[in-house]
Structure 1
Amino acid sequence: MASVTDLQSNVDWRALLDALGRFDIEGAIAALNINEAAWAEYSSAMTQAYAVAGASTAAQIQAQGIAGIGTRFRMTNPRAQDWIRQNVTESVEGFTIEQISVARTVIEAGYARGQGPRNIAIDLVGRVQGGVRSGGVLGLDGPRAARLQAVTQGMRSAEGVRGLVIVGHDGSLELRYKVNPATAQRIIRAYKAGTAVPEAERLISERQYSNALLKARADTVAATETGNAVMSARDEEWQQLVESQGLDASAVRKTWRHRRGSKDGRPDHIAMSGTSVMGLNTPFVLPDGTMMQHPHDPAGGARHNINCGCDCTYSLTYSKGLE
C-alpha cells in the first residue's frame, strides 16, 4: 500500500497530460515514473520477514537442544542470497513490468474509446479527494485492473450498465463482477431505469471499487509472500544446520500442517495435514501429483500458494553420535 501511495505521489501530472494530448504513449508512461524504487518498503519488509523467520527457527532449534551455542541463521549463505534475488529483487522487477503493461493497456483502451487526456489520466492514477489521491489502476495487477476498467467504464452509459447485469431465467438480476453492495445497488437501479449510473454515485463507486481491489491485492500479497518468506527461511535454516553440524539430512522429519478450517481450505492441503516425510530434501507429494518441499514452495505455483495458510514443522529423529 505504501508503494501505491509512492507511485501516485510521484506522477508528473503536467507531463502526463501533455504526452496523452500528443498521443505519446511512451511519454505518458515515462511521466508515471514507475520504477523499482517505488517498492522499497516492500523489498525491506520481505527481506526482514525472511531474516526474522530464519533467526527464529535457529533459536527454536537451539532451544530444543539439537544444536549448541553459535547456531545462527546466515543471511550471507549463497542459497539465502539467491532467495533474496529471486523473491525480492526479481519480484520487484516483475511488479514494475506489470504496472507499465497495465498503464499501456489503459491508455490504449482510452484512446480507442475516444477519451480525452484528463479522463485517461484519472483512469490511470485516480482523483484527489480530501487531499488524498485514490482510485485508478496503479498498484493493481492485470486481471484486477481489467475488472476495474470494465465496471467503471460500464457505469458511464446505459448500454454499459446493461453489459454489467446478468438476468437469470427467473428474472433475477446479478452483476457480472463482484463489487461492494452499495455499488451493486447503484448499478441495478440504473439498469432498471435504463440509464447510466448518475455521475455523483459513479464517482463514489469508482473510488470504493478501486480501493477494494487494491486492498484485496495487498492482502493477497501479504499473506502469500509472508508465507513464502517464513517457510523458505525455516527450510534454509535447517539446510544450514545440517551442513554446519554434520547432521544426517535423511533423519529430518517434515510434517505438513493445515492451519485453517476446512470450510475454505484447499482439499489437497486438508488431505495433506499431518502427513510426514523423512529427509530434509524429500518432497511432499500432494494428491494432484504436485511435489513441494514445504507449504508455500514456489514449485507449487499459484494453485497451491495464493493465500495458503499451511505450515510445516521440522524435527530430528536422532542426534549425531546418538544413533
Structure 2
Amino acid sequence: MLVRLTPRQRFEILVSQFEPAIRAAFIEAIDDITSYIVLRRIVERLERGDVNGAIRAMHLDEAAFRPLDEAIRQAFNGGGVDTVEQMPALRDPFGHRIVVRWDARNLTAERWLQEHSAQLVTGIVQDQQIAIRTALEAGLAHGDDPTKTATAVVGRISTITGRREGGIVGLASTQAQYVATAREELLSGDPAQLRNYLERTRRDRRFDKRILAAIRDGKPLPAPLVDRITGRYSDSLLKLRADTIGLHETFAALGASKDIGFRQQMEKGTLHAQHVTKTWKHTPQERSRLQHIRMQGQVVGFDQPFMAPDGTQIPYPHAPGVPAKHTLGCKCLAEYKIHFVAQLVR
C-alpha cells in the first residue's frame, strides 16, 4: 500500500537532495581558487608593499562560484517542480482538469535566480577581499616576513591531499578574525589566553593536551605548532561556513520556488490569491528560535506576511530581505493550502 508523504516529508527529501550539493559546490569553488594560487607571486608583491597586487594574484573571481550558482538553480527548479506536483487537481467550470506546470523561464523565477545569485556571490567575494586585506596588512604591520604573511592567508599545500589547507581563503571576514585572535592567544604564552582558546567550540581537540601542558609548564607553544593548530581551526571554520551556506541557500531556494510556483498559477488565472493561505511550520532543533516556536501554526493569507513576535514581517521563511536573525540556521517552512470550495465557487 502506497503511503502519501506529508508536505514536510517531501520538503525534507528535497533538502536532503540539494543541501549536500550546494555545500559541495561552495567547497569546489574555494578549491578552484586555491588551486590556482602561486605563493611566489603573492610574496613578490608583498615584498614591494603592493597589497592590492597580492590580492589580485589570488584570482578571487566571481566566475569561480559558477558551480554554486548551478547548484542553487537546481534546488530552485527542483522545488518549483515539487510545488506544482503537490497541487491537488484544479478544474475549470466545465470540470476539465487544468494543467499546471513549473515554468523556470518565467520572468519572476528568472529574476529571483539572477538577483539572488548575484548578491550572494558578490557578497562572498567582497567579504573575502576585506578579510584577506586585513590579514595581509596585519601580518606585515606585525613584522612578519612576506612569505609567512602570505602563507597564513593562503595556507600550505598538503603532502597527502595536494590541496591547500589552513589559511583564511573561503572564510567570512568575522571567521578570519577568529583565526587571527586564536593565533594571538596561542602565541601569547599567557595561561588565561590559552584557556580562552580552549573555549572555542570549532577547535581541533587533538591539540588540547599540548595546550594544557603549556599552561601547566608555563612555556609558550612553538610557532610551528601554533601554525598547525590554527590551520586546523581554520579548516573547521571553513567546513562550518560551507554547512551554513548549504543549509541557508537550500531553504532560500526551496522557499522562493514554492512562493513563485503559486504566483505563476495566479498569473495564469487558474488560481486566486484570496483562496490560498500559508501556515508557519516550526522545525524543532537543538537551538530553536523562541520567536519561531511561538509562530508555529500561524496562518495568513497568501499575500500577507507572517508576523514574528518582535514585529518582523516575514513573507515566508528565508524570504529575501528578512533579517539574518530570522534566517541563518532556520529550518522552518511554510505550508500552502488551496481552499477549493471558494475557488470552485469563483
Report the TM-score when normalising by structure 2: 0.84
Inter-partner Cα distance in structure 1 for 2:164 and 2:187: 21
Give aligned pairs, total.
311
Q: What is residue 170 of structure 1 aligned with on the other side?
A: none
Q: Specify whether residues 66 and 127 from structure 1 end up closer, same or farther in structure 2 by C-alpha distance, changes over 3 A only.
A: same
Q: What is residue 267 of structure 1 aligned with on the other side?
A: 290
- Structure 1 gap segments, 5+ residues each: 167-173
Alignment of 1:280-295 (within 5 A): 280-295=302-317
Inter-partner Cα distance in structure 1 for 2:49 and 2:326: 42
Amino acid at match of 1:191: I
Contact 1:298 1:305 in 2 (8 A): no
Contact 2:186 2:193 in 1 (8 A): no
Contact 2:155 2:165 in 1 (8 A): yes
* Aligned with residue 252 of structure 1, among 276, 281, 285: 276
2:55 counterpart of 1:29: yes
Contact 1:164 1:177 in 2 (8 A): no
Inter-partner Cα distance in structure 1 for 2:314 and 2:59: 38
Q: What is residue 122 of structure 2 aligned with on the other side?
A: 93
Greater length-normalized contact order (CA 8 Å, ≥ 6 residues apart): 2
Contact 2:31 2:163 in 1 (8 A): no
Inter-partner Cα distance in structure 2 for 1:187 and 1:151: 12
Moved over 4 A (4+): none
Amino acid at match of 2:321: A
2:146 counterpart of 1:117: yes
Alignment of 1:138-287 (within 5 A): 138-159=169-190, 162-166=192-196, 175=198, 177-178=200-201, 179-199=203-223, 201-261=225-285, 263-277=286-300, 279-287=301-309
Report the TM-score when normalising by structure 1: 0.90
Secondary structure of the 2:212 match is: helix
Inter-partner Cα distance in structure 1 for 2:57 and 2:156: 17
Inter-partner Cα distance in structure 2 for 1:28 and 1:12: 10
Inter-partner Cα distance in structure 2 for 1:299 and 1:132: 37
Amino acid at match of 1:90: Q
Inter-partner Cα distance in structure 2 for 1:260 and 1:73: 30
Q: What is residue 322 of structure 2 aligned with on the other side?
A: 300
Aligned alpha-carbon RMSD (Å): 1.9
Q: Bigger CA drift: 45-54 or 174-183? A: 174-183
Q: Bigger CA drift: 198-207 or 268-277? A: 198-207
Inter-partner Cα distance in structure 1 for 2:258 and 2:326: 19
Secondary structure of the 2:277 match is: strand
2:339 counterpart of 1:314: no
- Alpha-carbon shift at residue 177 of structure 1 (Å): 3.5
Contact 1:183 1:205 in 2 (8 A): yes
Inter-partner Cα distance in structure 1 for 2:62 and 2:295: 38
Q: What is residue 81 of structure 1 aligned with on the other side?
A: 110
Inter-partner Cα distance in structure 2 for 1:223 and 1:55: 20
Contact 2:155 2:164 in 1 (8 A): yes
- Alpha-carbon shift at residue 199 of structure 1 (Å): 4.3
- Alpha-carbon shift at residue 246 of structure 1 (Å): 4.0
Amino acid at match of 2:128: Q
Percent of matched pairs sharing the same residue: 31
